[in-house]
Structure 1
């Protein structure tokens, strides 16, 4: 994104045509409001970036089909130049012509025409270069079909446009769209505009001294050719000899290389001969070095209000409700009322948004904060005069941090630099994402966390998204029901992009099928990358195998059942009381959790909550969703424990409000208390290629990667049949997990836990339920012995004895049941769960797995 420099933020407003309320579409649903259609079409304009075009920044939808457009703006225009009454040189005329044609040619390559070309829309920057404004109005309004006013100024419209007459929105209600204008209509407008420049010079110059050069006359004749078939296009007109004389003054425009491509982003990097030119002057305005999108985002955070700004300038004028009624109908049928409200016509006034409030908010941010060092050893906390306040901001709730202007500026600057250095700075992106992710850069950050690399656009373009397939009908049915409260996703453009991305995924994964819920999974990626379908597809394609491996098989019952069984064990592991109650009333995960995991909670929560949830989800491995599920249940714990089966069904049919920040916080805590191998699934994603450490660097933390990714040894967990897995209420952990968690060394003694170990690994206790004789022949260091036969009474209650009293004192730790026979250990663990002991698990393979490790110890004989 280019820096803002001397540009300003400008806002203008107009109304979309209102649709009748009693008409539905062919699918039986109400017609999409024209303002929603315009909002969807507008989005592609934000990607159009060229030195001769004013960048579009944002569009806001208000009441009564009002739309407010924010775009790059400059105070001076060609209209001001004409009003000044100064003679225009031949070079200036050719310069204006060439620069306007450059912008028009670029628009034409993107399938767009200006149609509103006039002196007031030809802006001039501080260097006197042309910047075309309002060039997207014709495109976003569907060639004028969605508004009640004509696009363009009659004085500058081409003859063929005038001859065609105005198009009415009512003419388009039956699918009869107006035929769009071609590129040549802008050439006529350019001719009129250039002619006016020459006339100004003629009017203020003595007749005997004024003489229009032949090359300019030829250019005007070409532009003002009456027949469209003989009139050149902007691209053809640029080859005119008169314009070729000035073409050498301009460097050909190169489109910036995107973050995810096969091209070198530094291929055309140029540094000044004098490196000191890069140093900022003392009075430099650092905010001007940021992109216009960033500045607008910060302006909104600092209290910017578009409607208020337009109201203050009297562009928006409020009226009493009674004055907005169209007419009164009396009993005798006589009608009285007002005529057409002219405020619903186009007012092309653009107001400049004041940045004073934003600059005042950022006055304490020093220049160094705009250029953070990226050394891995540097503190991740931003530096400024108010660094103490920013350090405190990290501890504030995420919702508050996301609305803090100063904090967001520094996070955006940091992430922007890290992403520019991706994938070289991939590890540091992960590190900073653990703190939080700035919403403005969430889409690119998620892509980096998912490891997206390479030429994703070429891959996406190579997928056939047009040939009909059997899944098309189901996709068409699902899309109109997927997050349609969101204006962007409910627009026709949103539906079209949904279809293309979903179809690309189905076509490119022939071994998988489309299941309902895939559209919900697509929604967050499409929303964040609305103008980059290739990136939305790439993120979705990387996300599904990591968290939903084989969930979309034609027969996925074995995958789903294993997943739900492991989830049941996680509930029992973390909250045995809740698990016991749900099992007693028969409220099993099959009844409520399938939509949770099949859509990774996107079917359950609105998008703004999914963003915060997935910010953390993407930092965890494939077992993290289990912890999210348990955290949701724990928020509803009191209501679940107090109700029976029917009430629980009703509760989950309309899920109550969930505190998503608390859910994330508790999920992380549950995740840290869960041994890695406890969530082992044989149907999870196979191990990754050696060397892929999931972005955590050469020394990943204990929970950074999936258990399946670790090299398999004789001490690893063995796969179980689904029937055996369902028979056990507590999860199993592997022998290598037990050794790692107990910090056992080769000497057979427990190592003293370090500070790092305490913070990253759960506290664990091994409970050996073999007989005292077997225990004395060799046991795990630090374990306690509670013989199976002495622990429980005939009713299953825990017998009070010295050994069980010791167990009670360790309540809250991870308790690993060790025995000769795993089934016996499973029964013992089930008894502990029944009496509400949390964090109970079973050693997979029993004590036999430990015999050949040399880690078992024998107690010293009593003297």
Structure 2
């Protein structure tokens, strides 16, 4: 048992077993053992018990002071009950330890604060199947496991943990390690062997404890009691000490990583991990489905399950150097704290002082939700700490714990119409992410998607729905009900009716409004793209159908959605405009083929139909013999610039310019413009402006009004400050007689302005007649 009076982190090295690597039925290689363990790790991460050392991270990558004081019987009982409480908790959560020894027990401050470590190795390796090494300590292994080892069976049972506990209890009472004396398999032979090896050793136990030891060390597993029964015999006093004050172990580990510490480098420097040249480990022969032969000795690795303490002095020094006033929270005075708000997102996420304070502030507001909902949104407008992103998104989506219960009403085991497509799409969904590449993530994602489809029978599975659900799964990996609630709320707010079986009207309207906004913000680029018939259907459908989840990797998508969840359903349009703005220098001089190549280099535009279209275009493209180097593009988009540009346009463009008849009710202000068909919308070259937005801009003197009526009508009555521009083609037209004719002419005039390169052109919905309810805008001439 190990005593440590300062909390610090520890690391254990494990080696995966990939000797039987093969391909699946779909032809895709099966996940590696390390990937499978990554998928299981979140379950261990979710466990919380006062007598367990929490797991905080699993890293896939290419010393303590011994207790020297003698324990009293009362102290030994306290320690044993704490251990047993942890074992019982794990068994209730269907976790078998498999590896339990006295070296796995840690005294944090004293015998009243006991923690059990190394309890997740058996679960993580799927009962030892994904590891080469047998997970057990030879001095604590039960008889049935010894027999199973001879049959090449690595699985451990709950009764095996009870046996290991019995050995630990015996060691605590003897104040000696059985590793120097054990030569039997039950209590009597153990005691006899110990007395022979150590004649002066005295068993400090009463009759009750002796009976308990006999039960836990029964040779037959069926005769050993369960942890719950043993715990009921001797219950220790509850003693729960706080871990690092008010800061959770997850927050502490997050800050430890920001302090510049690296688990891999520390283990390499101390010789725990030994690097070897890959060329010296190559097999002599590789046959068929990754069957390797020869040179096995050089590939042999030996594992140790001892916990290596990771130094935390650097973190403690960094935290000690921070002014304590930084942690005094006053939301009334918070607006005065502007020192680090101008830093980039990347810099702020790596700054220990900044993150320590932000996590403290946001954790308080999360606990106060929904009573401090407005204050939470105000703080999130600055940034969101990565560690609390899942809980914050849950609050920003207006969810409560009561709304997650619907998830358990649906049976996802029966076959569904989408099963075949899910089987193809899920293994390819965000495979760059280690967690999403694991079989556990694939299973959970399938269940999440099928539950959502069952909850909405009017919707169908469209390619991209898996990418849309993946961020919520990653942030709520151990709670699918929360992931489902977040996905359901997100789609209802931002992608309303996008997943109808016939979603063409919804998508086409969205794309038409997007191009209207492009003309509003960049008339020159809009004109260039439309003149070569480069329509948004060729590149933007994956953007808006998945809210960019199919285009951006997680580390960039999270930052975009942090801002998106604080805005209304029109915000994805402005993210698309910001991407177009970033690509402008390439697009403005690009030919049709150049533009296709440019967007095909972005992630997410790799569906089969687009690939087929690109192949046809490239055949024509190669005939022109133009250099390919002139149209290549790095897919590394500047996400901070995209966020800044999208926010700037979101707040500067009138909200009515984003009107869609198929939009959800999640809007900044209610909009009531006339609904047009897709064909009618495509006749417009710019967005429409509502009378309310017009009056707001008119009062702020932020608008130039072009009146297209005849001179006679203009001179009789006009808007203050307006300019008269009677519409006419090559030859003058007759007097405009009807409002319909005027509206038609308005579209032509707006189109002329856009072709001339004028930005921020829009058409007043309803024309001048829509302003009759107010007289303050008009100049009258009688």
| Alignment TM-score, normalising by the size of structure 1 | 0.78
- Structure 1 position 338, deviation (Å): 7.5
Of the three residues 747, 765, 770, the one matched with 1:826 is: 747
2:214 corresponds to which residue? 221
Structure 2: state its 5+ residue gaps: 177-193, 287-292, 603-632, 734-738
Does residue 225 of structure 2 align to residue 237 of structure 1?
Answer: no
- Structure 1 position 568, deviation (Å): 1.6
1:846 corresponds to which residue? 767
- Structure 1 position 340, deviation (Å): 5.8
- Structure 1 position 380, deviation (Å): 4.3
1: CA distance, partners of 2:14 / 2:732:
76
- Structure 1 position 54, deviation (Å): 0.7
1:339 corresponds to which residue? 297
2:169 corresponds to which residue? 194
2: CA distance, partners of 1:832 / 1:673:
20
Of the three residues 679, 688, 699, the one matched with 2:658 is: 679
Q: CA RMSD in A?
A: 2.9
Q: Is the 8 A contact 1:327 1:338 kept in 2?
A: no
The residue correspondences of 1:494-509 to structure 2 (distance < 5 A) are 494-509=441-456
Does residue 7 of structure 2 align to residue 7 of structure 1?
Answer: yes
Change (3 A) 1:723 1:318: closer
* Structure 1, 436-445 or 51-60: larger mean CA deviation: 436-445
* Structure 1, 208-217 or 159-168: larger mean CA deviation: 208-217
- Structure 1 position 553, deviation (Å): 0.7
After TM superposition, where is structure 1 displaced by more than 4 Å over at least 4 residues in a row?
A: 201-211, 285-288, 320-329, 335-338, 792-796
2: CA distance, partners of 1:5 / 1:447:
37
The higher relative CO (CA closer than 8 Å, separation ≥ 6) is in 2
Give 3-state SS (helix, strand or coil) of 2:58's partner.
strand
Of the three residues 748, 772, 776, the one matched with 2:715 is: 776
Give 3-state SS (helix, strand or coil) of 1:131's partner.
strand
* Structure 1, 823-832 or 93-102: larger mean CA deviation: 93-102
2:275 corresponds to which residue? 318
Of the three residues 253, 257, 261, the one matched with 1:296 is: 253
1:749 corresponds to which residue? none
The residue correspondences of 1:29-44 to structure 2 (distance < 5 A) are 29-44=28-43
Q: Is the 8 A contact 1:577 1:836 kept in 2?
A: yes
Of the three residues 97, 111, 125, the one matched with 2:108 is: 125
Of the three residues 356, 361, 368, the one matched with 2:318 is: 361
- Structure 1 position 740, deviation (Å): 2.1
2: CA distance, partners of 1:51 / 1:546:
40
2: CA distance, partners of 1:212 / 1:364:
50
* Structure 1, 438-447 or 199-208: larger mean CA deviation: 199-208
2:624 corresponds to which residue? none
Structure 1: state its 5+ residue gaps: 64-73, 169-177, 254-269, 271-284, 330-334, 383-390, 689-704, 744-751, 754-762, 797-817
Residues 400-445 of structure 1: CA deviation (Å, up to 9, x unaligned): 2211222111111111111111111111221122211111212222
Give 3-state SS (helix, strand or coil) of 2:355's partner.
helix
2: CA distance, partners of 1:159 / 1:150:
15
Residues 804-860 of structure 1: CA deviation (Å, up to 9, x unaligned): xxxxxxxxxxxxxx9982212111111111111111111111111112323342257
The residue correspondences of 1:790-801 to structure 2 (distance < 5 A) are none
Does residue 707 of structure 2 align to residue 788 of structure 1?
Answer: no
1: CA distance, partners of 2:9 / 2:354:
22
Change (3 A) 1:250 1:307: same
Residues 156-179 of structure 1: CA deviation (Å, up to 9, x unaligned): 1111111111676xxxxxxxxx58
Q: Is the 8 A contact 2:516 2:686 kept in 1?
A: yes
Change (3 A) 1:832 1:645: same
2: CA distance, partners of 1:150 / 1:92:
32
The residue correspondences of 1:575-724 to structure 2 (distance < 5 A) are 575-655=522-602, 656=633, 657=635, 658-685=637-664, 687=665, 705-707=667-669, 710=670, 716-724=672-680
2: CA distance, partners of 1:167 / 1:41:
26
Q: Is the 8 A contact 2:5 2:109 kept in 1?
A: no
* Structure 1, 486-495 or 852-861: larger mean CA deviation: 852-861
Q: Is the 8 A contact 2:717 2:781 kept in 1?
A: no
Give 3-state SS (helix, strand or coil) of 1:93's partner.
helix
1: CA distance, partners of 2:578 / 2:285:
57
2:485 corresponds to which residue? 538
1:379 corresponds to which residue? 334
1: CA distance, partners of 2:425 / 2:480:
19
- Structure 1 position 139, deviation (Å): 0.3
Q: Is the 8 A contact 1:5 1:288 kept in 2?
A: no
1: CA distance, partners of 2:123 / 2:214:
28
1: CA distance, partners of 2:98 / 2:14:
17
The residue correspondences of 1:199-278 to structure 2 (distance < 5 A) are 199-200=174-175, 212-240=205-233, 243=234, 246-247=235-236, 249-250=237-238
- Structure 1 position 794, deviation (Å): 6.4
- Structure 1 position 41, deviation (Å): 0.7
Change (3 A) 1:633 1:50: same
Q: Is the 8 A contact 1:769 1:788 kept in 2?
A: yes
Residues 720-745 of structure 1: CA deviation (Å, up to 9, x unaligned): 233221211111111122112222xx
Does residue 122 of structure 2 align to residue 147 of structure 1?
Answer: no
- Structure 1 position 561, deviation (Å): 1.2
Change (3 A) 1:320 1:650: closer
2: CA distance, partners of 1:451 / 1:338:
57
Give 3-state SS (helix, strand or coil) of 2:13's partner.
strand
Give 3-state SS (helix, strand or coil) of 1:431's partner.
helix
- Structure 1 position 182, deviation (Å): 2.3
1:423 corresponds to which residue? 370
1: CA distance, partners of 2:201 / 2:248:
50
Q: Is the 8 A contact 1:122 1:130 kept in 2?
A: yes
- Structure 1 position 548, deviation (Å): 0.8
Change (3 A) 1:769 1:328: closer
Give 3-state SS (helix, strand or coil) of 1:402's partner.
helix
Residues 436-491 of structure 1: CA deviation (Å, up to 9, x unaligned): 11112122222222111132442222232222221122112110111111110010
Give 3-state SS (helix, strand or coil) of 2:706's partner.
strand
Residues 533-564 of structure 1: CA deviation (Å, up to 9, x unaligned): 22211111111111111011111111111111
2:615 corresponds to which residue? none
Q: Is the 8 A contact 1:819 1:825 kept in 2?
A: no
2: CA distance, partners of 1:358 / 1:465:
46
- Structure 1 position 518, deviation (Å): 0.3
2: CA distance, partners of 1:727 / 1:540:
35
- Structure 1 position 301, deviation (Å): 1.4
Change (3 A) 1:580 1:462: same
Of the three residues 152, 171, 183, the one matched with 2:158 is: 183
Change (3 A) 1:153 1:795: farther
- Structure 1 position 670, deviation (Å): 1.9
2: CA distance, partners of 1:662 / 1:739:
32
Q: Is the 8 A contact 2:174 2:202 kept in 1?
A: no
1: CA distance, partners of 2:485 / 2:386:
20
2: CA distance, partners of 1:821 / 1:60:
67
Q: Is the 8 A contact 2:101 2:168 kept in 1?
A: yes
- Structure 1 position 676, deviation (Å): 0.8
Q: Is the 8 A contact 2:96 2:123 kept in 1?
A: yes
Change (3 A) 1:132 1:624: same
Q: Is the 8 A contact 1:575 1:838 kept in 2?
A: yes
2: CA distance, partners of 1:400 / 1:207:
62
Q: Is the 8 A contact 2:691 2:765 kept in 1?
A: yes
Change (3 A) 1:398 1:210: closer
Change (3 A) 1:650 1:167: farther
2: CA distance, partners of 1:381 / 1:136:
46
Change (3 A) 1:320 1:645: closer
Q: How many residues align?
A: 717
- Structure 1 position 369, deviation (Å): 2.4
